[in-house]
Amino acid sequence: MRVVQCDYSRHAKPILEIFNDAIVNSTALYDYKPRTIEMMAGWFDAKSKGKFPVIGLENEAGELMGFASYGTFRAWPAYKYSVEHSVYVNARFRGQGIGKRLLQEIIVAAQQQNYHLLIGGIDATNSVSIRLHEKLGFTFCGTIKQAGFKFGKWLNLSFYQLILPTPSNPADG
């Protein structure tokens, strides 16, 4: 398997398929309606403008097995060293360490970009994602009860954080 920087022309369709599987079949993404290919253009554009990586793992056949990214946590200036990340793995490739490798790659990318805090919002019932985050040093920092409503029930959203040793010289403003 190889790490790739995802781009719209090559990866929009497989990322869309992974997103839509998560929307339709899980609470990994608190969304109701499948996304469209047109929406992916805007998603990639926002990642590019924010200088946020979209990191993928491809198998030997060139299939995208999963991807990870991060983006703005909150839009106020004092949050400039914090980002919220996401990791998604194609259902066909789950249980093979893809999520772990992607999360490790995102941690490295965040450090290289001098972020200080990685934040993961995880559905409280997603024990696989919670265990993965804990294995890589993330700590539980709270649950917002009944934060979402999907599949006819209230969903609790748990937050996990990883404090990074970067930046070396944080500054206000």
Tens-digit pLDDT profile for residues 85-142: 999 999 999 999 999 999 999 999 999 999 999 999 999 999 999 999 999 999 999 9
Give the pLDDT score at 17: 97
Domain count, the chain: 1
CA distance 98 to 66: 7
DSSP classification of residue 77:
G
Give the pLDDT confidence of 61-79 residue by residue, as tens digits: 999 999 999 999 999 999 9
Range of the domain at 55: 2-163
Q: Is residue 133 part of a domain?
A: yes
Q: Is residue 53 part of a domain?
A: yes
Q: Is residue 169 part of a domain?
A: no
Q: Is residue 25 part of a domain?
A: yes
CA distance 101 to 12: 21
Over the chain, what is the mean pLDDT? 97
CA distance 89 to 93: 7
CATH number of 31's domain? 3.40.630.30
Q: Is residue 73 part of a domain?
A: yes
Q: Is residue 14 part of a domain?
A: yes
Q: Are strands 82-89 and 117-123 parallel, antiparallel or unpaired?
A: parallel
- Is the previous residue joined to 34 through a cis bond, with omega within 30 degrees of 0? no
Give the global pTM: 0.94
Q: Is residue 46 part of a domain?
A: yes
Element (DSSP H or E) covering residue 17: helix 8-25
Q: Is 147 exposed, middle or buried (0-12, 13-18, 19+ CB in 10 A)?
A: middle
Q: Quick one: pLDDT band at residue 173, thresholds 50, 70, 90?
A: confident
Give the pLDDT score at 143: 98
Element (DSSP H or E) covering residue 49: helix 37-49
Nearest to 117 by CA among 158, 84, 91: 84
CA distance 30 to 140: 20
Q: Is residue 172 part of a domain?
A: no
